């Protein structure tokens, strides 16, 4: 990795990224999945490519990584790396507009240290000199206008009762022994208000509902606006080797209207046999997925059923770790884990078959992943939940997203329906501009 320039004056990444909001494969990672200290802008890729599905995109990523510089990034410049970044759509072999997968090869990035209020330009040794000026210009661009208020409209894509019927269909298939759990989703669709833009929606979400894996990706004809709290997998170099970590979320309760009610909901979630069993099924699935690329005996579970509180819901989150085999790459691991077990079910393949048959339409970007990977072997990837896909229309933008829940034999259709509505709340408010 090239020597870094001295830290640059602070500018918030939301302001710096604004001129890129319609640039093909410009990506903003707003937060690093940890304490939110770092953000990064990936822009002006040397190479970029669309793909029919995640498998094709990951095969290209694997090939591109072979030729990347493997040196470590400069100390103190944060967790992000120049290299490969992109989006993986959920659906295999998706035709036409459902083929959402794409990736770029980035020679340099801007990394934003929110704690030190400094910006770092991180470059690959062979980075083209003209791109440096284009990135640095983002730090001096005029302040962007405030995001317009949300004034769009969104509606359930089918009658509310239909989701309850899908829950019952899943329970019937579980009773037949087909699988143990499947994550069935409910689709909302509509449009942004006049004069609204997907990046304005992203900025409103960043203000009202900060998320550990918030990200914005611009693709031809559409923009992905993700407010995800969930990591799919992270690979970090360590003295013991390349350590992989997945943090599946499974188990949800609404926030309470008073501190006492909120604390009661959190306690009930942590004590719920159903939610703990649901979480444990996915932990076992993730242990199996990590074992496909990790050293035998290295996979362990350092944390189970931890409470994660978001602005609109409480979640249970667990952690699974392992050490990669010497001959397996971070991209190999991502392929082994994709799509996430928390949004498919267990066993994964049987659950995915049922999901396809019961939902009846492609998921597109929903429940896919946004990721980056560096030549030094590190990688981070999210799960695309709480994520809207906005598509350009003749006038304005459409907006659609899915929310779902893991269905088990103990699921109650009305309770699961209410859970989807709690999860949808922040996106609905950000799009429509009022409590919904």
Give the active site residues.
230, 250
Residue (of 30, 38, 11, 24) closest to 216 by Cα position: 30
DSSP β-bridge partners for residue 382: 231
First and final CA of the chain: distance in angstroms? 48
Distance of alpha carbon 27 from alpha carbon 86, whole angstroms: 8
List all residues 6 or more positions away from 378 whose beta carbon is below 8 Å from its beta carbon: 79, 81, 235, 236, 237, 242, 330
Distance of alpha carbon 61 from alpha carbon 51, whole angstroms: 11
Distance of alpha carbon 81 from alpha carbon 73, whole angstroms: 7
Whose structure tokens read 């890129």? 20
**Tokens at residue 131, please?**
């791109």
Q: Residues 109, 41: contact at Cβ < 8 Å?
A: yes
Distance of alpha carbon 110 from alpha carbon 199, whole angstroms: 18
Q: Residues 103, 51: contact at Cβ < 8 Å?
A: yes
Task: Characterize 231-249 residue by residue with b for buried, 16 or more Cβ atoms within 10 angstroms of its Cβ, and e for exposed.
Answer: bbbbbeeeeebbbbbbbbb
Compute CA distances 252 → 183, 308, 415, whole Å.
Answer: 13, 9, 11
Whose structure tokens read 């409910």? 186
């Amino acid at each position: 990795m090239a020597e870094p320039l001295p830290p640059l004056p602070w500018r918030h990444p939301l302001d710096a990224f604004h001129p890129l909001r319609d640039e093909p494969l410009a990506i903003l990672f707003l937060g690093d999945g940890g304490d939110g200290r770092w953000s990064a802008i990936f822009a002006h890729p040397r190479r970029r490519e669309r793909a029919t599905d995640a498998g094709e995109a990951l095969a290209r990523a694997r090939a591109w990584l072979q030729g990347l510089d493997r040196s470590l990034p400069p100390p103190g410049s944060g967790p992000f790396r120049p290299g490969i970044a992109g989006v993986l759509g959920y659906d295999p072999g998706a035709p036409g507009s459902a083929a959402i997968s794409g990736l770029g090869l980035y020679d340099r990035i801007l990394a934003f240290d929110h704690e030190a209020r400094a910006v770092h330009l991180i470059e690959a040794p062979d980075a083209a000199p003209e791109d440096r000026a284009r990135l640095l210009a983002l730090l001096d661009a005029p302040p962007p206008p405030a995001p317009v208020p949300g004034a769009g409209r969104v509606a359930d894509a089918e009658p509310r009762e239909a989701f309850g019927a899908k829950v019952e269909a899943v329970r019937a298939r579980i009773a037949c022994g087909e699988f143990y759990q499947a994550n069935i989703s409910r689709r909302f669709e509509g449009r942004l208000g006049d004069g609204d833009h997907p990046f304005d929606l992203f900025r409103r979400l960043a203000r009202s509902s900060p998320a550990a894996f918030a990200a914005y990706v611009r693709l031809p004809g559409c923009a992905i606006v993700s407010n995800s709290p969930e990591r799919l997998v992270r690979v970090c170099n360590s003295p013991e080797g390349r350590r992989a970590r997945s943090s599946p979320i499974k188990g949800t309760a609404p926030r309470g209207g008073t501190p006492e009610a909120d604390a009661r909901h959190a306690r009930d979630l942590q004590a719920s046999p159903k939610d703990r069993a649901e979480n444990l099924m996915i932990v076992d699935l993730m242990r199996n997925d990590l074992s496909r690329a990790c050293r035998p005996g290295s996979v362990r579970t350092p944390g189970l059923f931890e409470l994660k509180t978001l602005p609109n819901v409480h979640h249970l989150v667990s952690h699974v770790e392992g050490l990669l085999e010497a001959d397996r790459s971070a991209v190999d691991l991502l392929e082994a884990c994709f799509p996430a077990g928390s949004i498919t079910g267990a066993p994964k393949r049987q659950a995915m078959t049922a999901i396809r048959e019961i939902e009846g339409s492609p998921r597109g970007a929903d429940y896919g992943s946004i990721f980056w990977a560096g030549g030094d072997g590190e990688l981070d990837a999210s799960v695309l939940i709480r994520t809207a896909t906005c598509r350009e229309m003749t006038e304005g933008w459409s907006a659609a997203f899915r929310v779902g829940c893991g269905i088990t034999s103990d699921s109650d259709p009305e309770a699961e329906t209410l859970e989807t509505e709690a999860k949808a709340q922040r996106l609905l408010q950000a799009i429509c501009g009022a409590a919904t």
